[in-house]
Copies of this chain bind each other. A is one copy, B any other.
Amino acid sequence: MSQTITVVEKILSANDRLAEQNRAKIEEAGVYSINIMASPGAGKTSVILKTIEALKPEMQIGVVEGDTAPVTIDADKVMDAGMPAVQINTGGECHLDAIMLQGALNTLPLDTLDVMIVENVGNLICPANFKLGTHVNVLIASVPEGDDKPYKYPGMYRGVQAVILNKTDLLPYIKFNMDYFRKGVEALNPGLAFFPLSCVTGEGFDAWIAWLKEQAAK
């Protein structure tokens, strides 16, 4: 058993070293980078597309799409929105890691970008354990997932710098206790930046974009 643990630690530490190399490469290109994590169907791609729409007049945004299968549905949408996208097909793996991102960094036109967004694999568990080298980790939760998710997936909520709560347009139709949700988030990650919003109505989106611009300008 202790042997297994040693191996896991070694993998993580090698990953951390590669993540540092990725960060150096991203910073050298003057790019601000975001790792977006979420459950399947929380709306990662919708948030990314709407973020591109908002930032497009002033910024060039590149997207890395992490998928467990070779379908390019999400990458195609980004390219249709006029921005460069690279797909990482993990071949069934449940998370991105630093070496996968290293490959993508060699393919994206980094020097032409202002912001790079990584859409991690849809999974609330494993992606939290693998640093990629990005500047911030952002979690997208969604109203239909339920208000108990911070309590059930604490590792993910602990390791992020912002939480977006997507699909607020569905609040009238779903039992969702906002205080209970926020209390769970605050217990794990006090003072965390929090953006309830809807990609359908656009409500709340401005606050997210303002925060993102402020972070990127630092």
Listed in ascending order, the chain A residues whose CB lies under 8 Å from chain B are 39-41, 67-69, 71, 73, 92-94, 121-126, 129, 142, 144-146, 148-149, 151-155, 167, 169-170, 173-174
Give the complex CA separation of A125 and B94 in angstroms: 6
Q: Main SS of the interface on chain A?
A: loop
A7 CB to nearest chain B CB (Å): 10
CB of A125 within 8 A of CB of B68, answer yes
Residues of B within 8 A of A152 (CB): 40, 67-69, 71, 73, 122
A196 CB to nearest chain B CB (Å): 16
Nearest 5 A-B pairs (CB), nearest first?
A: A41-B145, A144-B144, A94-B125, A39-B40, A41-B146
Residues of B within 8 A of A94 (CB): 94, 123, 125-126
Known: A92-B155, A152-B71. A124 touches B40 (CB 8 A): yes
Instruction: Pick from B41, B73, B154: contact of A151, CB below 8 A.
Output: B73
Greatest chain B CB density within 10 A among A124, A142, A170 is at A124
Residues of B within 8 A of A41 (CB): 39, 142, 144-146, 149
Task: Output the nearest chain B residue to A148 by Cβ-Cβ distance.
Answer: B73
Give the complex CA separation of A173 and B152 in angstroms: 27
CB of A39 within 8 A of CB of B122, answer yes
Residues of B within 8 A of A125 (CB): 68, 92-94, 121, 123
Residues of B within 8 A of A154 (CB): 69
Instruction: Pick from B39, B68, B73, B129: contact of A39, CB below 8 A.
Output: B39
Give the complex CA separation of A151 and B94 in angstroms: 15
Residues of B within 8 A of A92 (CB): 125, 129, 155
Residues of B within 8 A of A148 (CB): 73
Give the complex CA separation of A20 and B122 in angstroms: 30
Residues of B within 8 A of A153 (CB): 40, 68-69, 122
A128 CB to nearest chain B CB (Å): 9
Known: A41-B146, A41-B149, A94-B94. A68 touches B155 (CB 8 A): yes
Task: Output the nearest chain B residue to A127 by Cβ-Cβ distance.
Answer: B94
CB of B151 within 8 A of CB of A167, answer no
